[in-house]
Amino acid sequence: MLFNSFAFLIFFPVVTALYFLLPQRWRWLLLLTASCLFYMYLIPKYILILVFTIVVDYVAGLLIAPAQGARRKLFLVCSLIANIGALALFKYCDFLSENLAAFARALGWNYSLQSLHLILPVGLSFHTFQAMSYTIEVYRGRQPAERHFGIYALYVMFYPQLVAGPIERPQHLLHQLYEKHAFDYDRVTSGLKLMAWGLFKKAVVADRLAPFVNGVYADPAQAPGPVLLLTAVCFAFQIFCDFSGYSDMAVGAARVMGFRLMRNFDSPHLSRSISEFWRRWHISLSSWFKDYLYIPLGGHRCSTSRWCVNIGIVFLVSGLWHGANWTYVIWGGLHGFFILCGTATERARARLAAALGLARCPRVHATLSIATTFMLVALCLIFFRARTLHDALDIFRRLPTGWGLLAQPARLLESLHGSGLRAMALGLAGALLVEMVQVLQRRYALLALVNAQPWWVRWSLYYAGVAAVFFLYGQEGDQFIYYQF
């Protein structure tokens, strides 16, 4: 089920009302049932994969907790193999098979393996990672094994964050499933406001930008360089508003019922470096990789060469996590490369900034850093969005071409005509509003500021927000981009 769907508009109030009406001892069952329905609305049979991972990890948790030494490790490894195996089967099998076949062809061998063409279960990477974090934390002794099967199942399946995160940790979410949450008007309205803000980002910004971006990426060979660059920028805003909009709705929906989910985004487009960007973008995933891959590999407390390898591994795996395609791997690899470059050139850049006098103008320096980081992120996203590696490379080849069109604005507008220009302009205006709100949020507690206003100011804002979604929503929006992962 999609958060921006009519079905959810019925589902959410019904589940929430029942949640507050039911006694505490039945609430977990209600949420588990609701989560099953939420998931099965998409492809019902894929619930079996979830059941498989839940049973495996529940049993693994119970076995790991009392075990010691090699036995403890063995149970963890078995659970990880089962989780990664399910992920590999559905997500990476065809990719591996195609690449092996291509490699064999290059060597002149006759190799062919039947592709499985399995449909990727929605949110598989998200709930698999959440389940894995449980067994790892039990293994590390930081989390007691959960004995209540229903509660454990709910930890993996909790519907607000089931299909696209935030990827929660057991220490943060499991105990909340036992807590009694009473109806609290302020908390409920705060959750609803966050959901509305998320819907604005998705429906008004991301879905307005989508037709333009989709149109250009469907046939990038037709677009001149300036249009390709504009599309890259639009996609950076689109994916941010799409994914952070989803996360806001997830956090808001959970908050309405009294649950606290972790923050997934923290103004990533205001980052001054790629490493800062990854501390602000998809925080639940980057912290997952940090805790369960980067630090076990040795983190940064090792030789420089080893650290470079660690960064490379983490970002290549992160790219692969997003999708079974070389475009994602390259996208991840580029981010890793930029982080390494950023660290290697830190002193030289500081010297250059001082020489240029930027040290005396910290705002100008910060603006330049933010703009550079944003453009690097937007350009990397060309690999993320392009249908094929060939398309992505073609876009990079074409980026320097056609800039003469800037001298002929009429022709440039003509080349954009018919590709959703008006919707794109509206989407970009919405994206700027979102960015402005984020800048303000870093300085002020915006929600508290709004709540402190007289009632007519608050209600005017509420009506304006609902009117924006009601009158400006983008019609072509359906799925959230991150649902496919």
Partner 1 sequence: MKRLFLALLALAAPFAAFLGLCEVRLTRVPATQLAAKRVLLARQQAAVEVLILGSSHAESGLLPAELGAPAFNLAGPGQTLYYDHALLDKLQPRLPALKLVILPVSFLSLESQLDEGPERWRGYYYQYEWGLPHRDWHLAWHVRNFSAYFCYGQEIGLQNILWGRIRDATANLDAWGGWTNRPPPPGGFNADGSPVRLSASARVALQRHHSRMKPEHIARNTQLIEAMARQLQRQGIRLVLVTLPVAQAYSDGMNAAAYQRMQAALRQLAARHGLTWLNYTGDRRFTDADFWDADHLNLAGAQKFSRLLRAELAAGHAR
Which active-site residues does the annotation give?
A: 322
User: For partner 1, which residue of 102, 417, 440, 457 counts as binding (CB under 8 A)?
Assistant: 417
Phi, psi values for residue 398, rounded to 5°: -85, -15
Which tokens is 475 given? 């019609």
Considering beta carbons, is residue 189 or 275 the nearer one to partner 1?
Answer: 189
C-alpha dihedral, 88 to 90 to 95 to 101, nearest 10°: 90
Q: Does 455 bind partner 1 (CB under 8 A)?
A: no
259-318 residues near partner 1, rule: CB under 8 A:
none
Site map 161..200 versus partner 1, x via CB under 8 A: ----------------------x-x--xx-----------
Check: CB of residue 239 under 8 Å from CB of residue 483: no
The DSSP annotation for 403-470 comes to GGGGG-HHHHHHHHTTSSHHHHHHHHHHHHHHHHHHHHHHHS-HHHHHHTS-HHHHHHHHHHHHHHHH
Q: Does 390 bind partner 1 (CB under 8 A)?
A: no
> Exposure pattern of 285-323 as b/e (b: 16+ CB <10 Å)?
bbbbbbebebeeeeeeeeeeeebbebbbebbbebbbbbb
Calpha distance 145→141 (Å, rounded):
9
3-22 residues near partner 1, rule: CB under 8 A:
5-7, 9, 20
Choices 64-72, 213-221, 224-232, 238-246; region in contact with partner 1 by CB under 8 A: 213-221
User: For partner 1, which residue of 332, 472, 480, 481 counts as binding (CB under 8 A)?
Assistant: 472
Considering beta carbons, is residue 202 or 335 the nearer one to partner 1?
Answer: 202
Q: Does 118 bind partner 1 (CB under 8 A)?
A: no
Task: Give the rounded distance of the alpha carbon of 442 from its chain centre.
Answer: 21
Q: Does 476 bind partner 1 (CB under 8 A)?
A: yes
Q: Does 414 bind partner 1 (CB under 8 A)?
A: yes
Q: Does 484 bind partner 1 (CB under 8 A)?
A: no
Site map 234..253 versus partner 1, x via CB under 8 A: --------------------
Q: Does 219 bind partner 1 (CB under 8 A)?
A: yes
Whether omega before 166 lies within 30 degrees of 0, making that bond cis, reads: yes
Considering beta carbons, is residue 196 or 239 the nearer one to partner 1?
Answer: 196
Of 255, 196, 250, the residue nearest 1 (C-alpha) = 250
User: For partner 1, which residue of 305, 418, 443, 454 counts as binding (CB under 8 A)?
Assistant: 418
Considering beta carbons, is residue 219 or 301 the nearer one to partner 1?
Answer: 219
Q: How many residues bind partner 1 (CB under 8 A)?
A: 30
Q: Does 461 bind partner 1 (CB under 8 A)?
A: no
The one-character DSSP state at 471 is H
Considering beta carbons, is residue 297 or 425 the nearer one to partner 1?
Answer: 425
User: For partner 1, which residue of 37, 42, 313, 433 counts as binding (CB under 8 A)?
Assistant: 42
Contacts of 42 (CB under 8 A, 6+ apart): 1, 122, 163
Calpha distance 139→79 (Å, rounded):
11
Q: Does 346 bind partner 1 (CB under 8 A)?
A: no
Which tokens is 31 given? 């949420």
Across the chain, which distance is largest between two alpha carbons, in Å? 76
Helix (H, G, I), strand (E, B) or coil at 37: helix
How much helix, strand and coil, in percent to the nearest 5, is found in the chain? 75, 0, 25
User: For partner 1, which residue of 28, 41, 52, 92 counts as binding (CB under 8 A)?
Assistant: 41
Which residue matches tokens 């929600």? 447
User: Which spans of this chain sit near partner 1 (rule: CB under 8 A)?
Assistant: 5-7, 9, 20, 41-42, 183, 185, 188-189, 214, 218-219, 222, 414-415, 417-418, 459, 462-463, 466-467, 470-473, 475-476
